[in-house]
Amino acid sequence: MSSQVSQYIRDNRQQHLDQLIEFLRIPSISALSDHKEDVRKAAEWVVESLKGAGLTTAQLMETPGHPVVYGEWSHPDNTHTILVYGHYDVQPVDPVELWDSPPFEPVIHDEKLYARGASDDKGQTFMHVKAVEAMLKVNGTLPFNVKFLIEGEEEIGSPSLDAFVSEHKDLLASDILMISDTPILGKGKPAVCTGLRGLCSLQVDVKGAKGDLHSGLYGGAVQNSIHALVQLLSTLRDEEGRIQVEGFYDGVIEPTEEEREGYKKLGNYEEELKSELGVSELFGEAGYTAREHTWVRPTLEVNGIYGGFQGEGVKTVIPSLAHAKITCRLVPGQDPDTISELIENHLKAHTPPGVTVNTTRFDKGKPFLAPTDHPAFKTATDSYEKVYGEPALFTRMGGSIPVVETFDQVLSIPILLMGFGLPSENFHAPNEHFHLENYDKGIETLLTFWDTLSL
């Protein structure tokens, strides 16, 4: 890559960070309908940013939900196209009282940028825009055509994107897809993510008596919706964390011995993880390491539970209603619809007496494995190594990017997951942040990739 391009990035660093901070100030929480206008505002911000970068096309494209931002630049001499995917929406911020600074008032502290979306995924999306901008401003051209697809529903499971990608298959046609929404292994330890877990999710609603009851007048003679929910949820996992839903593990593709050996080379993760999480002991299925628990094993987690009185003190009530939110992380060999159905059947079969149970399905996404023999993967690891001075490893990630499976099926092109976040950056949690070291090195890595890729 030309040193002028890098120099452009260095010269404009403060201005770019100011722009990113402006982007992060927009509370584009896709899950909350109150923030619908903010989500749109963030989309419009991305359009302007792409225009400012020199793209010839940059526009909002409507969906049944939040809009997609599409941008492109092409040159008749270029024969290949890189598609960049990112998302401009962010997770909710509660419990907001646990943030050290307000989630939408970004602050840089100790070379870390704190804000909801700093790392997941506004910061990482922004780096691609700036890399392209630098090449266009300095060289007036790009070695490949580029297309940007930046969506606003990733954090709610991309409900509109499947249809959007299918409908605009020709518009999106490219040779390779780049996504920066995955973490590297740690400080100075780059990695290319070659696998993601899938997702299925559902809400469980338990109803007992037709209204809340006085626990003195009725207690002992009627089912309590919370007890019923607790009893029901307790049947989902055994005491060691193994999921008890019949058929849940059927078809799971176990990692190969070679893969497991590779993960072992990454070193022991348990002590680091305990310290990071502030727990005295980890907890997981027997026979697997913590890394394997999060990368190659499926999970079932209750993400939220609520019912009855939640205020100060106590209220002697038998609640009519109790609710739980459940998500599963799925691994290759598991299908979200099948797993949802198995869970629904389990809940039905284990419903305690005296209550009715209803379920509602939410987000889902299939698991993913990358074609690591494609040449772009070698270019990617080499680019990381050149910038970071450390070889990049092939890893997996326990998170889900549901749309990856859609791209895989609809576009049938290699998907390169080149992330720059650190695992400790509190994605989805209070005090999300992004290390500026990886912001800087990440843009340099992307520029090296563009410069050295041969398709």
28-47: contacts with a second copy (CB under 8 A): 31-33
CA 293 to chain centre: 17
Hey, what are 195's tokens? Answer: 């696998």
Question: Contact region for a second copy (CB under 8 A) — 78-86, 136-144, 351-359, 441-449?
Answer: 351-359
The packing angle between helices 122-139 and 13-24, to 10°, is 140
Nearest approach in angstroms of CB 280 to a second copy is 8
Are residues 94 and 159 in contact, defined by beta-carbon separation less than 8 angstroms? no
Question: 151: which residues sit within 8 A by CB, 6+ positions away?
Answer: 66, 68, 69, 85, 86, 87, 88, 89, 158, 160, 161, 164, 403
- Chain residues 62-101 in contact with a second copy, contact rule CB under 8 A: 91-92, 94-95, 98
Size of residue set near a second copy by CB under 8 A: 102
Nearest approach in angstroms of CB 277 to a second copy is 4
- Chain residues 113-172 in contact with a second copy, contact rule CB under 8 A: 156-157
How many angstroms separate the CA atoms of 331 and 228, rounded?
30
Nearer to a second copy, 293 or 441 (CB): 293
How many angstroms separate the CA atoms of 24 and 121, rounded?
10
Scanning the structure block, which residue is given the tokens 């980890």? Answer: 282
The pattern of x and - marking residues 415 through 434 that bind a second copy according to CB under 8 A reads: --------x--xxxxxx---
Beta bridge partners of 416: 178
Nearest approach in angstroms of CB 229 to a second copy is 8
Nearer to a second copy, 19 or 327 (CB): 327
Nearest approach in angstroms of CB 345 to a second copy is 19
Question: 170: which residues sit within 8 A by CB, 6+ positions away?
Answer: none
Nearest approach in angstroms of CB 151 to a second copy is 16
Nearer to a second copy, 34 or 170 (CB): 34
Nearest approach in angstroms of CB 48 to a second copy is 29
Question: Contact region for a second copy (CB under 8 A) — 53-61, 63-71, 103-111, 355-363?
Answer: 355-363
> Nearest CA to 175 among 454, 445, 370, 381?
454
Nearest approach in angstroms of CB 308 to a second copy is 4
- Chain residues 380-409 in contact with a second copy, contact rule CB under 8 A: 397-400
Nearer to a second copy, 64 or 220 (CB): 220
Residue 112 touching a second copy (CB under 8 A): no
Nearer to a second copy, 71 or 419 (CB): 419
Q: Both ends of the chain: CA-CA distance in Å?
A: 17
Q: Is the dihedral of CA 445, 446, 450, 451 positive or negative?
A: negative
Are residues 205 and 320 in contact, defined by beta-carbon separation less than 8 angstroms? no
Nearest approach in angstroms of CB 274 to a second copy is 9
- Chain residues 175-194 in contact with a second copy, contact rule CB under 8 A: 183
The pairing of strands 107-109 and 415-418 is unpaired
Q: Which of 77, 97, 170, 239 binds a second copy (CB under 8 A)?
A: 239
The pattern of x and - marking residues 192 through 221 that bind a second copy according to CB under 8 A reads: -----x-x-x-x----xxxxxxxxxxxxxx
Nearer to a second copy, 4 or 203 (CB): 203
How many angstroms separate the CA atoms of 93 and 308, rounded?
23
The pattern of x and - marking residues 356 through 375 that bind a second copy according to CB under 8 A reads: ------xx------------
How many angstroms separate the CA atoms of 29 and 38, rounded?
8
Nearer to a second copy, 254 or 285 (CB): 285
DSSP 96: G
- Chain residues 313-332 in contact with a second copy, contact rule CB under 8 A: 313-319, 321-325, 327, 329
How many angstroms separate the CA atoms of 402 and 123, rounded?
20
Q: Which of 103, 352, 367, 419 binds a second copy (CB under 8 A)?
A: 352
Question: Contact region for a second copy (CB under 8 A) — 110-118, 128-136, 234-242, 435-443?
Answer: 234-242
Type of residue numbered 227: H
Nearest approach in angstroms of CB 252 to a second copy is 13
Nearer to a second copy, 39 or 321 (CB): 321
Nearer to a second copy, 34 or 110 (CB): 34
The packing angle between helices 122-139 and 3-11, to 10°, is 130
Type of residue numbered 266: L
Nearest approach in angstroms of CB 362 to a second copy is 5
Type of residue numbered 375: P
The pattern of x and - marking residues 273 through 312 that bind a second copy according to CB under 8 A reads: x---xxxxxxxxx----xx-xx--xxx-xxxxxxxxxxxx
For the stretch 271-301, what's the b/e string if a residue is b when 16 or more beta carbons lie within 10 angstroms of its beta carbon?
A: eebeeeeeeeeeebbeebbbbbbbbbbbbbe
Length of the chain: 455
